[in-house]
């Protein structure tokens, strides 16, 4: 009986994934028929209205209350509304990556996407054969960062966590592959794949603001959380430079990609990169980014679950 219930639950979940996946892909396909600006505005409008009714909204509001105890309920709800708008735009932008990303490093004509830190990209382009690590967070459209790197002839292999829904994950993966460099799903063997890239003198991109069950204990917005030690470990093993990068949404449907100069990771008494202290340093940098515009970060994530 127990085995039957387990099999039934699995089949039920598979059916749910199939139905949800078909619905999500259908919506994205319909949005594709609209001009990008209208599609993104529509997605934002719907998300602002529907977001408060989603179960994860309560988690987002709870996380915001802990992070900003000084803010009023109205201010908290306003940030949560901005968050849903940002996430809706991100989802819709997957179907318009080829139309939205108009940055050309060889042109001075302003476009929808601007890049701050061109000199960093140009310098790294001259260091071919030398491994580098870029890190970012779920801010704005973070998917634009590896696309920008490829425009500067800096192919970057990015670590990503695919959605739980396999049908949505496959759709997003196919969309990503058409616009950016290599992709490594966050699963068993991912660290080895990234190590091989660095070993060959390549570039790696990592998101550092997600919970990692076997991570090191750190703090984020004053609360304990678990942080993936992969980036510090790779940096320690290959002694490669680490660069912060982020995407900022600007008014009028524009974007700024910001690549900062390399950071100096803390080291222990033996001179090796300190894993825990470095993980905390990454958290501190991301927290600074989020505080600048909290509505552009995903507060519904279970970042602080221990």
> Measured between alpha carbons, how far is 96 from 48 in angstroms, rounded to an integer?
21
Please determine, for residue 258, whether its predicted confidence score (pLDDT) is greater than 90.
yes
Residues 134 and 275 in one domain: yes
Question: What pLDDT sits at residue 1?
Answer: 64
pLDDT value of position 7: 67
Contacts of 26 (CB under 8 A, 6+ apart): none
Q: Is residue 306 part of a domain?
A: no
Q: Is residue 205 part of a domain?
A: yes
The residues, any chain, with a CB within 8 Å of residue 271's CB and separated by 6 or more, are none
Asked whether the whole model's pTM tops 0.75, one would answer yes
Residues 85 and 136 in one domain: no
Statement to judge: residues 181 and 34 lie in one domain: no
Same domain, residue pair 210 and 172: yes
What 3-state class would DSSP assign to 122? helix
- How far is residue 302's CA from residue 165's CA, in Å, rounded to a whole number? 18
User: Which pLDDT tens digit goes with each residue over 188-203?
Assistant: 678 888 999 999 999 9
Dist CA 51 CA 58 (whole Å):
10
- Could you tell me where the DSSP H helices lie in 95-229? 97-100, 118-125, 144-151, 166-177, 190-199
Listed in sequence order, the residues at least 6 apart from 220 whose beta carbon sits closer than 8 Å to its beta carbon are 209, 227, 283, 286, 287, 303, 304
In the predicted model, is pLDDT for residue 39 greater than 70?
yes
3-state secondary structure of 70: coil
Q: Based on the domain organization, do 272 and 147 belong to the same domain?
A: yes
Domain that holds residue 282: 109-296
User: What confidence tier does 140 reach under pLDDT thresholds 50, 70, 90?
Assistant: very high
98 within 8 A of 179, measured Cβ to Cβ? yes
Strand order in the sheet with 254-259: 113-116, 254-259, 241-250, 132-136, 203-207, 156-160, 183-185
Number of folded domains that form the chain:
2
Note whether residue 192 is domain-resident: yes
pLDDT at 280 over 90: yes
* Cβ neighbours, 10 Å, residue 219: 14
> Is there a contact between 259 and 117 (Cβ–Cβ < 8 Å)?
yes
Mean pLDDT of 296-300: 96
pLDDT tens by residue, 104-115: 888 878 889 999
Average pLDDT, the chain: 88
Tokens matching residue 8: 């039934």
Asked whether residue 301 is assigned to any structural domain, the reply reads no
Mean pLDDT value of segment 141-165: 83
Which residues lie closer than 8 Å to 226 by C-beta, 6 or more apart?
211, 212, 213, 214, 215, 216, 217, 218, 306
Q: What is the total residue count of the chain?
A: 306
- If asked whether residues 206 and 153 sit together in one domain, one would say yes
Say if residue 259 is in the same domain as residue 285. Answer: yes
Angular region, 188: left φ>0, alpha ψ -120 to 50, beta rest:
beta
Asked whether residue 44 carries a pLDDT value surpassing 60, the answer given is yes
Residue 162 and residue 278 in one domain: yes
């Amino acid at each position: 009986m127990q085995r039957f219930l387990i099999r039934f639950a699995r089949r039920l979940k598979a059916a749910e994934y199939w139905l949800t996946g078909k619905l999500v892909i259908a919506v994205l396909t319909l949005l594709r028929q609209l001009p990008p600006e209208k599609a993104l505005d529509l997605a934002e409008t719907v998300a602002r209205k529907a977001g408060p009714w989603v179960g994860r909204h309560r988690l987002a509001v709870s996380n915001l209350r802990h992070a900003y105890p000084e803010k009023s309920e109205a201010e908290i709800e306003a940030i949560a509304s901005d968050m849903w708008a940002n996430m809706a735009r991100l989802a819709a932008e997957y179907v318009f990556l080829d139309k939205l990303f108009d940055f050309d490093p060889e042109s001075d004509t302003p476009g929808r996407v601007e890049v701050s830190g061109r000199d960093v990209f140009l310098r790294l382009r001259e260091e071919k054969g030398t491994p580098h690590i870029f890190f970012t967070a779920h801010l704005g459209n973070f998917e634009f960062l590896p696309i920008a790197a490829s425009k500067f002839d800096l192919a970057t292999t990015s670590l990503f966590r695919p959605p739980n829904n396999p049908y949505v994950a496959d759709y997003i993966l196919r969309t990503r592959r058409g616009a950016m460099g290599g992709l490594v799903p966050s699963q068993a063997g991912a660290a080895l794949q990234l190590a091989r890239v660095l070993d060959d003198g390549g570039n790696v991109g990592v998101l550092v603001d997600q919970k990692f069950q076997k991570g090191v204990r750190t703090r984020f917005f004053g609360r304990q959380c678990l942080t993936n030690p992969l980036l510090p470990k790779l940096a320690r093993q290959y002694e490669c430079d680490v660069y912060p990068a982020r995407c900022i949404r600007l008014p009028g449907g524009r974007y700024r990609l910001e690549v900062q100069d390399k950071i100096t990771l803390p080291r222990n008494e033996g001179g090796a990169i300190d894993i825990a202290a470095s993980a905390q340093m990454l958290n501190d940098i991301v927290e600074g980014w989020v505080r600048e515009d909290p509505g552009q970060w995903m507060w519904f994530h279970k970042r602080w679950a221990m």
